[in-house]
Structure 1
Amino acid sequence: MRLVQVLIPRGSRESVLESLDRQAIDYAVFEEVGRGDFEAMVQFPVPPSGVETVMEELTNAGVRGDSYTIVLPTETVVSQRLSALKERFPGLRISREELHARAEDLAPANSTFFSFLILSTVIAATGLLLDSAATIIGAMVVAPLMGPAVSASVGAILADRRMATRGVVLQVTGLAAAIATAAVLGVILQQTILIPPGVDIQAIPQVAERTSPNVLSLFLALGSGIAGAISIMRGSGSTLVGVAIAVALVPPAATSGLGIAFGLPVVAVAGAVLVVVNLLAINLSALILFYLSGFKPLDADEREGVRASIASRIAVIGVAIAVLSLVLAGVTYASFQTASFEQQTQTELQRQFDEADIEGVELVSVTVDYRPVDYLLGNQPRVDVLVGIPRDLQAPPDLAQRFDDQLTEGLDRDVVVRVGFVEAQVSDDAATRASTGAFASTSRPHTSGNRTLTGTALVSSPGAWP
Structure 2
Amino acid sequence: MARLVFVTVPAGKRDAVLDVLDDEGISYTLTDETSNREYTCAVHFPLPTNAVEPILDRLRETGINDDAITVTVETQTVVSRNYDQIKDRFTEDEDSPEQIAREELQSAADDLVPASLPIYAAMTIVSAIIATAGLLLDSAAVVVGSMVIAPLIGPAMATSVGTVFRDRDLFRDGVKLQIIGATLTIVSAALFAILIRTGNLVPPGLDILSISQIRERFRPDVLSLVVALGSGAAGVISLASGVSSALVGVMIAVALVPPAATVGIAIAWGNTALAVGSGVLLLVNLLSINLAALLVLWYMGYRPEKWFRIEQTRKTFVKRVGVLLISILILSAFLGTVTFSSYQTATSEQSIQNDIRSILDEPVYSEFVLLEVQFEYSENLLAQRPSKVTILIGAPRGEIPPELGDRLNTRIDEIAGRNVAVQVRYLTVQEPG
Structure 1 length-normalised TM: 0.87
Partner Cα distance (2:361, 2:106) in 1: 69
What is the identity, as a one-letter code, of the residue corresponding to 1:383?
A: V
Match of 1:319 in 2: 326
Match of 1:406 in 2: 411
Secondary structure, aligned partner of 2:380: helix
Secondary structure, aligned partner of 2:393: strand
> Would you say 1:381 and 2:382 are equivalent positions?
no
Secondary structure, aligned partner of 2:50: helix
Gaps of 5+ in 1: 429-466
> Would you say 1:204 and 2:208 are equivalent positions?
no
> Would you say 1:22 and 2:28 are equivalent positions?
no
> How much does 1:307 deviate?
1.1
What is the identity, as a one-letter code, of the residue corresponding to 2:251?
A: A
Judged with a 3 Å threshold, the aligned counterparts in structure 2 of structure 1 residues 337 and 311 are, in CA distance, closer, same or farther, namely same
Q: Deviations over 1:363-385 (max 9, x none)?
A: 221111236837627x5532111
* Larger RCO (CA under 8 A, 6+ residues apart): 2
**Which residue among 247, 250, 255 is the counterpart of 2:254?**
247
**Which residue among 423, 427, 445 is the counterpart of 2:428?**
423
Tell me whether 151-160 or 382-391 shows the greater mean CA deviation.
Answer: 382-391
**Which residue among 136, 144, 147 is the counterpart of 2:143?**
136
Match of 2:113 in 1: 107
Partner Cα distance (1:159, 1:42) in 2: 29
Partner Cα distance (1:357, 1:250) in 2: 56
> How much does 1:399 deviate?
4.4
| Mapping for residues 288-299 of structure 1, pairs under 5 Å | 288-299=295-306
| Mapping for residues 71-220 of structure 1, pairs under 5 Å | 71-90=72-91, 91-108=97-114, 109-220=116-227
Report if the CA contact (8 A) 2:367-2:396 is conserved. yes
Secondary structure, aligned partner of 2:365: coil
Partner Cα distance (1:400, 1:268) in 2: 39
Partner Cα distance (1:311, 1:410) in 2: 48
Judged with a 3 Å threshold, the aligned counterparts in structure 2 of structure 1 residues 370 and 356 are, in CA distance, closer, same or farther, namely farther
Q: Deviations over 1:206-230 (max 9, x none)?
A: 1111111000000000111111011
Tell me whether 406-415 or 98-107 shows the greater mean CA deviation.
Answer: 406-415
> Would you say 1:33 and 2:34 are equivalent positions?
yes
Aligned length: 426
Match of 2:94 in 1: none
> Would you say 1:266 and 2:285 are equivalent positions?
no
Q: Deviations over 1:309-344 (max 9, x none)?
A: 111111111111111110000000011111111111
> How much does 1:357 deviate?
4.7
Match of 1:46 in 2: 47
Partner Cα distance (1:372, 1:13) in 2: 74
Q: Deviations over 1:20-75 (max 9, x none)?
A: 22222221110111351211100111111111111121112121202111111222
Judged with a 3 Å threshold, the aligned counterparts in structure 2 of structure 1 residues 77 and 374 are, in CA distance, closer, same or farther, namely closer
What is the identity, as a one-letter code, of the residue corresponding to 2:112?
A: L
Report if the CA contact (8 A) 2:109-2:158 is conserved. yes
Report if the CA contact (8 A) 1:226-1:286 is conserved. yes
RMSD: 1.9
What is the identity, as a one-letter code, of the residue corresponding to 2:230?
A: G
> Would you say 1:62 and 2:63 are equivalent positions?
yes
Structure with the greater alpha carbon radius of gyration: 1
Judged with a 3 Å threshold, the aligned counterparts in structure 2 of structure 1 residues 387 and 103 are, in CA distance, closer, same or farther, namely same
> How much does 1:12 deviate?
1.6
Report if the CA contact (8 A) 1:380-1:414 is conserved. no
Match of 1:223 in 2: 230
Tell me whether 70-79 or 1-10 shows the greater mean CA deviation.
Answer: 70-79
What is the identity, as a one-letter code, of the residue corresponding to 1:13?
A: R
Partner Cα distance (2:141, 2:246) in 1: 17
Report if the CA contact (8 A) 2:52-2:100 is conserved. yes
Gaps of 5+ in 2: 92-96
Secondary structure, aligned partner of 1:40: strand
> Would you say 1:304 and 2:311 are equivalent positions?
yes
Report if the CA contact (8 A) 1:338-1:372 is conserved. no
Match of 1:442 in 2: none
Match of 2:6 in 1: 5
Report if the CA contact (8 A) 2:228-2:289 is conserved. yes
Q: Deviations over 1:162-186 (max 9, x none)?
A: 0111011111121111111111111
Partner Cα distance (1:424, 1:87) in 2: 76
